[in-house]
Amino acid sequence: MKKLEMVFKNELGKTTKISVDYAKDDLTKEQVETAMKEIIAKNIFETQNGELKEIDGARIVSTDIVELI
C-alpha cells in the first residue's frame, strides 16, 4: 500500500500531518503541491493549534505486508 503524507505548519509553527491511503502511483510533486496549497487557501481542516499556514513537506510511504500464516 502507498500512502501520501502531507505535512503542514500551523499558526503556532507546529507540524500537522494529513495522510491519504492508496495514493496513486503516478502522483507528481506539482499535483501534491497544488492540492496542499488549496487545502491551506480554503482552510479545509481545523487543528488543535490553529489553521494550517504553510507547506512543510510531503512524501509517499510504501508498506509491504507479508503474510506468514
Dihedral, 12, 41, 4, 16 alpha carbons, nearest 10: 10
Contacts 24+ apart (CB under 8 A), 30-36: 32/4, 32/6, 32/58, 33/58, 35/6, 36/6, 36/8
44-68 per-position pLDDT tens digit? 988 888 999 999 999 999 998 899 9
Domain range list for the chain: 2-62
pTM of the model: 0.88
CB neighbourhood size of 52 (10 A): 23
pLDDT tens for 12-26 read 999 999 999 999 989
